[in-house]
Amino acid sequence: MSFRSGYAVLVGRPNVGKSTLLNRLLGQKLAITSHKPQTTRHRILGIRSQDDGQIVFVDTPGIHDRGGKAMNQYLNRTAYTALQDVDVAIFVVQAMAWMPEDERVLNAIERAGVPAIVAVNKVDLISPKEKLLPFMQTLASRHAFVEMVPVSARDGENAEVLAQAVLNRLPEGEPIFPDDQLSDRSERFFAAELLREQLIRRYHRELPYSVTVEIERFEEVDGRYDIGAVIWVERESQRAILLGKGGEAMKQAATAARKAMNDFFQTRVHLEVWIKVKKSWSSDEASLVSLGYTD
């Protein structure tokens, strides 16, 4: 039996379910998720190892038209760059919902010249399924996709069909990573992401894009992880929103994040959190780099 290995990038506009699909394909949570666009801010490798191959999935921020901030430019640049030097692209679109930003993603795939599988996500929301056929036919007319797979990242429908379609497109070769490795990112990175996930979910109306997390301390002490995190906001008023009355809102968010870290790291976690102001950090290239936003 031949062994295949290679890279498959997940691309699409914001909020089509790329990160949820990555988690489903890996069989465990790796990427943070929320209902807010631009939850994913970094390129993340998710490694799926099996007897006949290894797929290195590359999750990316959503490609979008909105805003000229340094952060928006960084997110698009990260996604475009990820299309280079991969074996196949998984173009994630939402069933029955083609938008101008989808066209932008497709143009990027065509410029990269990479074979593309289209994953039509959220088919669990469509009934009867026959309604999908005209949408799929229109998709097929837009580009010469090598495969078209209707999927539901939420309930797992056709996830294994998609994984097999990806594997079939990879070259024969040795594993790229050890078979017990799940990602290229550090534990420090995932600690920051798990805290940011709680902030996005709890403050999704007030300030999802004005918050970032920096891990200042990550140590193993007495059989547990001792983590110190700084939450950066752009204005003093945002700091007050995060804290809530008597600091109660922040305590609840930190407790939820600590529990998520316990589950993710499979060990006890002690978490301390501070909130600091860095004015207009999301609009400043130097601030982005200092906070870990590098291509």
pLDDT digits (tens, 9 = 90+) for 177-227: 999 999 999 999 999 999 999 999 988 777 767 899 999 999 999 999 999
The pLDDT score that the predictor gives to residue 233 is 94
The pLDDT score that the predictor gives to residue 261 is 98
pTM above 0.75, yes or no: yes
List the domains of the chain with CATH numbers: 4-168 (3.40.50.300), 187-290 (3.30.300.20)
Beta-strand pair 53-59/44-50: antiparallel
Mention every residue, 6+ apart, whose C-beta is less than 8 A from residue 18: 10, 11, 12, 40, 59, 60, 62, 92
Q: Which residues of 29-62 are buried (b: 16+ CB within 10 A; e: fewer)?
A: bbbbbbeebbbbbbbbbbbbbeeebbbbbbbbbb
The pLDDT score that the predictor gives to residue 295 is 61
Q: Tokens for 120? A: 């039509």
| Residues 167 and 52: beta-carbon distance below 8 Å | yes
The pLDDT score that the predictor gives to residue 69 is 81
Show the 3-state SS of 133-186. HHHHHHHHHHCCCCEEEECCCCCCCCHHHHHHHHHHCCCECCCCCCCCCCCCCC
The pLDDT score that the predictor gives to residue 67 is 65
| Distance, CA of 116 to CA of 2 (rounded, Å) | 23
| Distance, CA of 146 to CA of 115 (rounded, Å) | 7
| Distance, CA of 292 to CA of 190 (rounded, Å) | 13
Q: Tokens for 51? A: 């007897």
The pLDDT score that the predictor gives to residue 8 is 98
Segments in the chain below pLDDT 50: none
Task: Identify the bridge partners of residue 55 per DSSP, sorted by sequence position.
Answer: 6, 48
Q: Tokens for 12? A: 């699409």
| Distance, CA of 294 to CA of 285 (rounded, Å) | 10
Mention every residue, 6+ apart, whose C-beta is less than 8 A from residue 164: none
